[in-house]
Amino acid sequence: MARIPELHLVASLLFALPALLCACAGTPPPAPPVAAAAPAPPAVDDPHSSARPQEVAVEHLALDLTVDFDRKQLAGRASLRLRNPAGATRLYLDTRDLEIRRVLLDSGTEARFTLGDPQPHLGRELAVEIAPGTRTVHVDYATSPEAAALQWLEPRQTSGEQPFLFTQSQAILARTWIPLQDTPGVRATYEATIRVPPGFLALMSAENPTAKSADGVYRFRMPQPVPSYLLALAVGDLAFRPLGDRAGVYAEPAVVERAAWELADTPKMIQAAEKLYGPYRWGRYDVLVLPPSFPFGGMENPRLTFATPTILAGDRSLVALVAHELAHSWSGNLVTNATWNDFWLNEGFTVYFENRIMEAIYGRPYSEMLAALGRGDLLETIEELGAESPDTRLKLDLAGRDPDDGVTDVAYDKGYLLLRRIEEVVGRPRFDKFLRSYFERHAFGSMDTETFLGLLDRELLAEQAELRDEVRQWVYQPGLPATAPQPRADAFAKVEAQAQAFAAGTAAAALQTQGWSTHEWLHFLRSLPSPVAADRMADLDQTFKLSESGNSEVLAAWLEKVIASSYAPAYPALERFLTGMGRRKFLQPLYTALAKSPAGAELALRIYEKARPGYHAVSRQTIDKILDWRG
């Protein structure tokens, strides 16, 4: 996941005849052979799941779902093939806000099941009685219109004025659209039949079509085992453009050409990544550019990254996000954090890998600017959380909390700086050899922090006791160690000089900004004092047209300065931005700044009341807390 702060009428018949949701009533067809066996789950308890995979684990999922835009509902069957070597007699699954209609065993025997009491964040445990020899469990069910993973977009929210559906399963939202073992420690292969209205294209984190089906029926196959949070579905009026032999981009027809141009360097990124850490193991790498309400910058669904349209800056300046999601094809998708307490193993590795890709393609000065901005974001996050906060540790304790609470710059940028520190001490050649071996030997498996530290000790730090101790300080202690690397972005010194000149009274038109990248503009805006006088804000805006910027990163940074300076002439631009997209990375700081501003709290509530229906549940949950939203 991209760094942050950064889913008809025939349904009425299906309700009465749930057996019709499968290829045949009562007796589903056997699953076809799969290309890879799901590995045994790790012996690590997940506080965010009711599953007991050490007793019985799901190794393959077969879905047959109908997409109903009118009801805002998915309805159908999930068939779960089990691995049960010890002969367990009960299967535990995770659900949240699902209507469980019936459960069948193997060839159609009715199964007894119970639903537990709802638990905050976790939903309801589904316990199914099985026989020791039960091979497959079939669950007929339907989703709620308020399912947190699903965003149902109205036609007015899309460029083609057609309804649209997309899912967001990370961290524990897969259980809101599929009954399953919703923990990153369980991996399963999957297949799916998805039925949509004619005229729409359905896509999944699987082998995908590139053209619409005449009858609206699509069949998918994912032969590599994946954790539940990487299950993804999107349905809409979509078109496809190739970006080479094994990469391409999907988007709405009005957006697809612009998206294809913006992402033209994707094949180069794949080549650079493979050169660093081994072959890409997922077949194709395609990107789906979603409508603006998508809550994240990107989501690393295997074979099909979901991306925000805010990366379409028109100058390819924001494609580091694609490098990040591509890097997840190794760190996260290939080797996955065993629980959400180990989230840094996904994201810290991915930021490190992302920066190495960007360095390989665009050069060290470019990647150092990215690293410097990330370090600055991290310091702000640590200051906000408190230097002694346990949430500034890499290994988290999120029991009893929403794992989304752990999605901060700490996992991303503190994790990155730790890996960079190790690289600087042991040398890049040795560290690259270790990482490449790590991805190869643990492919399609899960990893927890303690197991990783043991590997690191034995294979890389055996003779460096001091560094071994330091690594544990990074992982288990709050704050940022004094040994944290300091990225050297030489270009930023010139930017800071221009910021100082402007603060001293130099007119905006006299500043030396020619050829600045997005990163230099971000650093400039962040280097300005707060507040800035109204006449000086007007000078900046009139000279550089910042309120009209098509670059979402620059515009968001400018709007933060607008709020801090109470610069009312730019408030219409602020409202357009907050009502025009739903990316949480931008929403969170802007609403936070408004809420803290004496003149901004009322404005924030007025804008949010208008914008909230178009935001994904992930974004709504965050902003509701910031504004103490009561509806």
The residues assigned a catalytic role are 325, 412
Which of 186, 308, 300 is CA-nearest to residue 586?
308
> What is the per-residue burial (b if ≥16 Cβ within 10 Å, else e) of 553-573?
bbbbbbbbbbbbbebeebbeb
Cα-to-chain-centroid distance, residue 603: 29
For residue 454, CA distances in Å to 484, 516, 586 come to 22, 44, 38
Cα-to-chain-centroid distance, residue 7: 15
- Look at the block and give the residue holding tokens 């988290």: 396
Cα-to-chain-centroid distance, residue 142: 25
Structure tokens at 248: 């391409």
SS (H, E, C) 427-493: CHHHHHHHHHHHHHHCCCEEECHHHHHHHHHHHCCCCCHHHHHHHHHHHHCCCCCCCCCCCCCHHHH
Rounded distance between C-alpha atoms, residue 26 and residue 407, angstroms = 43
Rounded distance between C-alpha atoms, residue 533 and residue 429, angstroms = 50
Gap between the terminal Cα atoms of the chain: 29
Cα-to-chain-centroid distance, residue 231: 12
Rounded distance between C-alpha atoms, residue 451 and residue 112, angstroms = 38
Residue 73 three-state SS:
strand
Q: Residue 59: enclosing H or E segment and its boundaries?
A: strand 57-68
SS (H, E, C) 138-166: EEEEECCCCCCCEEEECHHHCCCCCCEEE
83 Cβ partners below 8 Å, 6+ apart?
38, 40, 56, 57, 58, 59
Structure tokens at 188: 């399963």
Which of 273, 274, 312 is CA-nearest to residue 291?
312
Residue 12 three-state SS:
helix
Rounded distance between C-alpha atoms, residue 248 and residue 243, angstroms = 4
For residue 94, CA distances in Å to 11, 83, 182, 194 come to 24, 17, 6, 22
**Pair 51, 27: CB distance under 8 Å:** no
Rounded distance between C-alpha atoms, residue 358 and residue 348, angstroms = 16
Rounded distance between C-alpha atoms, residue 60 and residue 186, angstroms = 11
Q: Which pairing describes strands 233-236 and 164-167: parallel, antiparallel, or unpaired?
A: antiparallel
State the CB neighbour count (10 A cutoff) for residue 334.
Answer: 23
Residue 251 three-state SS:
strand
- Look at the block and give the residue holding tokens 């550019």: 289
